[in-house]
Amino acid sequence: MKPITPNHAVFFDVDDTLYDHLQPFRAALEEILNTGNDFPYEPAYHRMRYYSDFLSAEAGGTPTQGQALESMRTERFIRSLGEFGLPLSAEQAAAVQAAYLSRQFDIHPFPGALELIGELQARDVVVGIITNGPPDHQWRKIRALGVDRRIPAERVFISGAIGLTKPDIRLFHLIAEKLGKAPEQCCYIGDSWRNDVVGAAGAGWQTIWFNHRGVRPESEGSLPYTPAVTYTELSRLLLGESNERQ
Neighbours of 30 (CB within 10 A): 15
In 104-181, beta strands by DSSP E: 126-131, 156-158
Q: Are 44 and 109 a contacting pair, CB within 8 Å?
A: no
pTM of the model: 0.87
- Rounded to a whole number of angstroms, the CA Rg of the chain reads 18
**Amino acid, single-letter form, for residue 89:** S
State pLDDT tens for residues 198-245: 999 999 999 999 999 998 888 877 889 999 999 999 999 999 854 444
Q: Could you report the per-residue pLDDT of 30-85, keeping only the tens digit for each?
A: 999 999 999 999 999 999 988 988 888 887 766 556 787 888 899 999 999 999 99
**pLDDT tens-digit profile of 156-185?**
999 999 999 999 999 999 999 999 999 999
| Residues facing 186 on adjacent strands | 9
